[in-house]
Amino acid sequence: MSKDNEKDTKANETPSANDAGKSRRNFLKFGLVGAGAAAVVATGAVAVKRMQGIPHDEFPVELNDDFKPIDQRNQINVFCGSKALNEKHPERTRSFNEMLKKEDPANYKPFDFYATRRAFMSGPYRDAPGYGQLDRALAVGGFSSARQQLGGGSMEAPNSGVSSWEQTMLVDHKYEFESPAQANTDIKSAARLYGAIRCGITKRDKRWDYDPMYSVSEEKELSWEKDFPFEPKSVIVIMTEMDYPAMATAPAWIQDATVGDAYANAIKIAGQITIFLRQLGFKAVASMNDLGINAPYAIAAGLGEGGRNGQVIVPEYGPRVRISKVYTDLEFVEYDKPRTYGVASFCLNCKRCADSCPSKAITFGDQTWGPEYSTDPDYIWNASKGILKFHNDAKKCAKFWIDNDGSCGNCIAACPYNKPDFWHHRLVDAQNVIAPGPVHAFMREMDIFFGYGNVSDPDKVHRFWKLGDKV
């Protein structure tokens, strides 16, 4: 039976079988909740405190002397989009192809980062749930607003559209905030109104900024000192939510639609905060995936913790968020502290993202100081070093996106922290932050048992396209 037929068979399960499954799940769910409730009540105060995160004075991830800021030319999406960089570095494509051939000689087909990327999201519709004309239209519509706001540029393009470096609408008179703490609250109040689900403020940290930056449209390097319009002092980090039912269809094209939509909201809010600050007399530039790396800035601003899947795991949302930021010269503001929420410890036992990754890009190993999947400099050109984290191979991920003719999102959909905001999920989260490792392994199995986080599921595509009945 083909994979697609298998999926269709599952989608056509009889209602009685589904109902029986649901009853069993509900019974077990409530049994587990009872156990969870007992445990949480017993240790409630500790759990509540841990759920809010443990604050740290320093960035809560270890760095060593090998660490240095990333050159934006080595960022995978920038490299894939740049003809000049691909012509300059043919050894990178060669090395990647050697790996592909070695790992799977029977299915090897030559791969070209630049040529294949140009055809991204324009291939033929497929005869499989989630890959038809309706799904593709949803995805392209979902991305359209972000692309318009960024002046047609990519999410990685500096100085483009809403992310322009020109200081339009900047007023001369500088507003005097009541106090640094009030400045923090005022900015977050504005971010909430504009639609942010989370906002944190942290000091500008050159370690997380691309240096140099790179404009693919102009094929040129950009310097912080010579080209950027001011010296940034603070970075405001903004989060938007991706839709749970859409993300649950991963890796189908429907999930692209919520990715694009959340990007659009994130850049919209960043643009509005930028104008808000300029109207208060402060210079500001909005940023999507350009200027600096979102994840460490979000961690520094206390919004979440780095997960095995390389994304920021945010309380109540998991990795189901998109991040934008605003660089500003405002200094008179209280900074949020980084917080740890027990994610790294849960990730040690979980590995559901790695299990569900179709390209095997995500490590099953422990945190390391650098990539362990290769020592070839022509292969690990995009990897960071000198930072203790889960090191994944973003090039394999990029290849799957091209093979899928849309992005993927399995590592978001599969993550147990990615759950809708129901009380019993928050209860289980509370239990997890105080439980030791073996309980985490048990919770992972329970998550699988209850049917959460399974990917490539045609049922979820069918369910998504029924939700319009509720609007």
Name the residues that contact ligand SF4, by CB under 6 A. 307-309, 313, 346-347, 350-353, 356-359, 361-362, 397, 400, 408-411, 414-417
Minimum distance, C-beta of residue 396 to ligand SF4, in the bound complex (Å): 7
Minimum distance, C-beta of residue 342 to ligand SF4, in the bound complex (Å): 10
Minimum distance, C-beta of residue 310 to ligand SF4, in the bound complex (Å): 7
Q: Which is nearer to ligand SF4, 333 or 402 (CB)?
A: 402
Q: Which is nearer to ligand SF4, 328 or 407 (CB)?
A: 407
Minimum distance, C-beta of residue 306 to ligand SF4, in the bound complex (Å): 9
SS (HEC) of the chain: CCHHHHHHHHHCCCHHHHHHHHHHHHHHHHHHHHHHHHHHHHCHHHHHHHHCCEECCCCCCCECCCCCCCCHHHCHHHHHHCHHHHHHCHHHHHHHHHHHHHHCHHHCCCCCHHHHHHCCCCCCCCCCCCCCHHHHHHHHHHHHHHHHHCCCCCCCCCCCHHHCCCCCCCCCCCCCCCCHHHHHHHHHHHHHHHCCCEEEEEECCHHHECCCEEECCCCEEECCCCCCCCCCCEEEEEEEECCHHHHCCCCCHHHHHHHHHHHHHHHHHHHHHHHHHHHCCCCEEEECCCCECHHHHHHHCCCCEECCCCCEEECCCECCEEEEEEEECCCCCCCCCCEECCHHHHHHHHCHHHHHCCCCCCCCCCCECCCCCCCCCCCCCCCCCCECECCCCHHHHHHHHHHHCCCCCHHHHCCCCCCCCCHHHHHHHHHHHHCCHHHHHHHHHHHHHCCCCCCCCHHHHHHHCCHHHHC
Q: Which is nearer to ligand SF4, 300 or 347 (CB)?
A: 347
Minimum distance, C-beta of residue 434 to ligand SF4, in the bound complex (Å): 16
Minimum distance, C-beta of residue 411 to ligand SF4, in the bound complex (Å): 3
Q: Which is nearer to ligand SF4, 244 or 400 (CB)?
A: 400
From CA 99, how far away is CA 185, in angstroms rounded? 50
| In contact, 307 and 25? CB cutoff 8 Å | no
Minimum distance, C-beta of residue 431 to ligand SF4, in the bound complex (Å): 14
Minimum distance, C-beta of residue 409 to ligand SF4, in the bound complex (Å): 6
Q: Which is nearer to ligand SF4, 126 or 360 (CB)?
A: 360
Minimum distance, C-beta of residue 35 to ligand SF4, in the bound complex (Å): 21
Q: Which is nearer to ligand SF4, 202 or 309 (CB)?
A: 309
Q: Which is nearer to ligand SF4, 276 or 417 (CB)?
A: 417
From CA 259, how far away is CA 247, in angstroms rounded? 8
Minimum distance, C-beta of residue 449 to ligand SF4, in the bound complex (Å): 15
From CA 113, how far away is CA 397, in angstroms rounded? 12
Q: Which is nearer to ligand SF4, 401 or 464 (CB)?
A: 401
Q: Which residues, in sequence order, are bridge partners of residue 236?
A: 201, 326
